Structure 1
């Protein structure tokens, strides 16, 4: 029964997509000028097919995802522990709060110029800019995850004179996991967007670079084929992140018995 419902819901969700493609196809073929600059989806999907068969898109996807996840895991490994520590140690947080607030409001794209100076037009520059965007997202979510822990739970640990290590591992980490999970999920979308944007300006390969290069050589069908691919890839990554959050991280936080809020 659940399988039938899932299939039914899945088919219903395809209706708006199919409707959009049909309208796009008819409009593009009806208006001649539009067909030049916005080729019909049948042409774009054919270009996408050729790119996949020739393995060109697989190489581009690998280059993009490699940079994206390098920045993602590096930012998570550094920012989350710092955020948990600062949320736990309010004295340290008050010392670093002005610096944190001053740096995190700077858009990641503003660091493109320094990235070019230090790393040139390279994948490292893309990783740096993406890392910067993710670092503050992970740090702030982790920090406020600790601050949102029930004060009574914290007081109960202190009442029994629990060691600081036990408080941190048995209360702080599990109690902030909901916020951390939300940050990790949102981080996938942020990492994907910033990586593609960075490749358009800082790289000589990857999906972002290929998209911009297609515009430069007037390969319009390749532009929209790449946009379709980005949509599918971004949607898939987001769905996977949600699945991981629901099945593992949130489940673990709930089973830990920690009350959040």
Structure 2
């Protein structure tokens, strides 16, 4: 019984800050702290969100956005992870490619969206392409960092046993780089959603970004906030799903107790 009570208390405590925020959101417009035209009470937003759920409209936009995001994100990982492993492993290649890589990395992804629209049109390809481009950098840099920061003692110990370079890479370097790679994947997953929303606001007739832009343009403010909440929920689901996956994949890592 005590264990169950403790579990409930911990669960409530974890979401207490969110509940307080929603309570302030509900009260502030009603007491006149903010204009209800621009920030309606949370209860009105919840009603709008429920209506979008009942009609199924929100699901249509979510599915379209997820499909675009997953396609661009998946293609980005297929390029960024192998390229990061190569750059991190071959120092001479890193010296050669780093200036170009840093130049591309410092260029705003959304600033390039008009270029992608000119190259690929305003259809699905341009949206997938901009996500593909935007998710590269966090994964690429974390993969390079993971390879370069492998414990030198592990490498020396393996080489002292006469291991080949290929076996060293596959059995030592790659497994030791996984935590850093997964950190980059988590960062890029969130980035892919943000980039997609912006791209859908600029040129689309479906998706969460389009829903947000349509609601704002037609002054459907509760629906606009409902779309924003949907994006936040989607981001949370993606983040915690990747955290759970990372814990299962890197269960061998020793966790350092808090305060040490």
TM-score by length of 1: 0.90
Cα distance 1:2–1:111, how it changes in 2: closer, same or farther (>3 A)? farther
Residue in 1 that maps onto 2:29:
28
Structure 1 segments of 4+ aligned residues over 4 angstroms from their partners? 1-4
Residue in 1 that maps onto 2:71:
70
- Cα offset for 1:62? 0.5
Residues 15-164 of structure 1 correspond to what in structure 2 (within 5 A)?
15-31=16-32, 34-164=35-165
Residues 186-225 of structure 1 correspond to what in structure 2 (within 5 A)?
186-225=187-226
Distance 1:115 1:204 in 2: 18
Structure 1, residues 60-87: CA drift from partner, whole Å, max 9, x if none? 0001111111111111111101111111
Distance 1:85 1:16 in 2: 43
Distance 1:24 1:100 in 2: 43
Distance 1:108 1:151 in 2: 36
- Cα offset for 1:171? 1.1
- Cα offset for 1:50? 0.9
Greater relative CO (CA pairs within 8 A, separation 6+): 1
Contact 1:44–1:225 at 8 Å: present in 2 too?
A: yes
Contact 1:84–1:142 at 8 Å: present in 2 too?
A: yes
Contact 2:215–2:224 at 8 Å: present in 1 too?
A: yes
Equivalent pairs, count:
253
Aligned CA-pair RMSD: 1.9
Cα distance 1:41–1:157, how it changes in 2: closer, same or farther (>3 A)? same
TM-score by length of 2: 0.90
Distance 2:182 2:98 in 1: 23
Contact 2:136–2:188 at 8 Å: present in 1 too?
A: no
- Cα offset for 1:165? 1.7
Contact 1:75–1:134 at 8 Å: present in 2 too?
A: yes
Cα distance 1:150–1:32, how it changes in 2: closer, same or farther (>3 A)? closer
- Cα offset for 1:103? 1.1
Structure 1, residues 177-209: CA drift from partner, whole Å, max 9, x if none? 111111112222111212212211132210011
Contact 2:135–2:189 at 8 Å: present in 1 too?
A: no
Q: Unpaired segments of 5 or more residues in structure 2?
A: 255-260
Distance 1:8 1:223 in 2: 33
- Cα offset for 1:123? 2.8
Residues 175-190 of structure 1 correspond to what in structure 2 (within 5 A)?
175-190=176-191
Distance 1:203 1:60 in 2: 11
Q: Report the structure, 1 or 2, having the larger helix content.
A: 1
- Cα offset for 1:228? 1.6
Distance 1:2 1:118 in 2: 59
